[in-house]
Amino acid sequence: MARADGRQREPGRRELQTRLTESFGLRHPFVGAGMGFVALPELVAAVSEAGGLGVLGVAPEPPPVFLERIAQIRSLTSRPFGVDFFLAVSPTLGPITVDDHIKIAAAAKVALAVFHFGISDPTWVAALKAAGVAVWVQVPTLEQARAALAAGADGLVAQGVEAGGHNHSTLPLHSLLREIREEIGDRVLVLAAGGIATGADVVSALAHGADGVWVGTRLVASTEAYAHPEWKRRIVEARGHKATVITTLFGPEVPCLPYRVLRNPAIDAAIDRQDEVCALPPAGDPIGSTTLFPGTSFETQGVPMPTFSALPPTPDTTGDFDAMGMPTGEGAQQIRDVKPAARIIADMMGEARSIIDRRLASSPA
């Protein structure tokens, strides 16, 4: 049967379809999390080509770099994709998202713009929507979900406490999803974020009211992710609930924000003093060196990483990996391998489909 995305269905196989797949013409209700540094054009295009929606992690790239990234994605895929804006003001870099980012996204007519940490400027929503760009907000609480809807959001990404990266949530994902759905009903799309790494996690998220999944950590352990192989290796080796922790230790670039990362010896040594440490200027020698804006004409090599730097290790990074922040969610404990994004998506969605078909639909007559 011919489909909105121009592809043929596999004979005998029904893919999961939701309001999300209908809205964006996707094969799967799967969105790649907009991860700064890691979800660069190669990963974004791979997710979109595989039938999900790839989302560029724009932070911390300034507008001219962002413009190049959009061109890079379009050279790799003609499928729809989104962009993710991180709203924070850095003492060293200034505001991470500015008017020109919004103008570029609107002019490029990307399919989707997502904001993390609220919407700071209502004119941004109006400008994006006027250009036909869907606007979502990633929210850690029901209160922020209400604020996002009041600001005009078309969709919400519910971020549970399990999620990797910057994370203000204190609620398990399923509780947050339930709270949001109970209040807003079916008014807008709601995606589930946090700890989703298997097909069973997908089924569970849909059962708790999600229209689709927003997946970060599982995609960090993909071939295309712009993450250092040592970080990918540590995700594959991570076991148990204590493998990751939310701490405010990391981020002289964006100080004292809660950040879920892989545990390491530097965290264990300082976590009891985290509120004090994060408010001080970084002490001691740099822990490593990295490259900003890789693969663009603004590439900057040899950038020193201060103690507890929020910059995650990319393939260009050198230094003490035991001291680096590796943003990672609780789903790491389910991840056993690094593989292409297309394989990850096909495996997760195939497993989800099988669970629904075999376990839920085949009760004895």
Binding site for ligand FMN (CB under 6 A): 33-36, 38, 57, 59, 84, 86, 116, 138, 159, 162-165, 193-196, 215-217, 220, 312, 327-329, 331
CB of 233 to ligand FMN, least distance (A): 15
Cβ closer to ligand FMN: 35 or 106? 35
Q: Give every CB contact of residue 215 below 8 A, 6+ residues apart in sequence.
A: 30, 31, 32, 33, 193, 196, 197, 348
Beta carbon nearer to ligand FMN, 5 or 179: 179
- β-strand pairing of 30-32 with 212-215: parallel
Element (H, E) at 146: helix 142-150
Q: Point out which residues pair with 300 in neighbouring strands.
A: 292
CA distances from 187 to 116, 135, 158 (A): 20, 14, 15
Shortest distance in whole angstroms from residue 18 CB to ligand FMN: 18
Q: Which is nearer to ligand FMN, 10 or 198 (CB)?
A: 198
Q: CB nearer to ligand FMN: give 116 or 228.
A: 116
Q: Minimum CB separation from ligand FMN for residue 193, in Å?
A: 4
CB 195 to ligand FMN: min, Å: 5
Considering the complex, state which of residue 84 and residue 154 has its C-beta at the smaller distance from ligand FMN: 84
Measured from the CB atom, the residue of 3 and 63 that comes closer to ligand FMN is 63
> 118, 124, 117, 122: which is closest to 102 by C-alpha?
124
* Cα 279 from chain centroid (whole Å): 26
Q: In this complex, which beta carbon is closest to ligand FMN, that of residue 221 or of residue 356?
A: 221
Measured from the CB atom, is 52 or 327 closer to ligand FMN?
A: 327
- Shortest reach from residue 43's CB to ligand FMN, in Å: 11
Cα–Cα distance between 2 and 170 in angstroms, integer? 43
The separation between the first and the last C-alpha atoms of the chain, rounded to the nearest angstrom, is 31
E runs forming strands in 36-186? 54-57, 81-86, 89-90, 94-95, 112-116, 134-139, 155-159, 165-166
Nearest approach in angstroms of CB 26 to ligand FMN is 18
Q: Specify whether the CB–CB gap between 52 and 222 falls below 8 A.
A: no
Quote the least distance from Cβ 53 to ligand FMN, whole Å: 13
Do 81 and 114 meet the contact criterion of CB atoms below 8 Å apart? no
Q: Provide, rounded to whole angstroms, the least separation between the CB of residue 162 and ligand FMN.
A: 6
319 close to 302: Cβ distance less than 8 angstroms:
no
- Sheet containing 318-319, strands listed edge to edge, beginning at the edge strand earlier in sequence: 300-305, 288-292, 318-319
Q: Which residue is nearest to ligand FMN (CB)?
A: 216
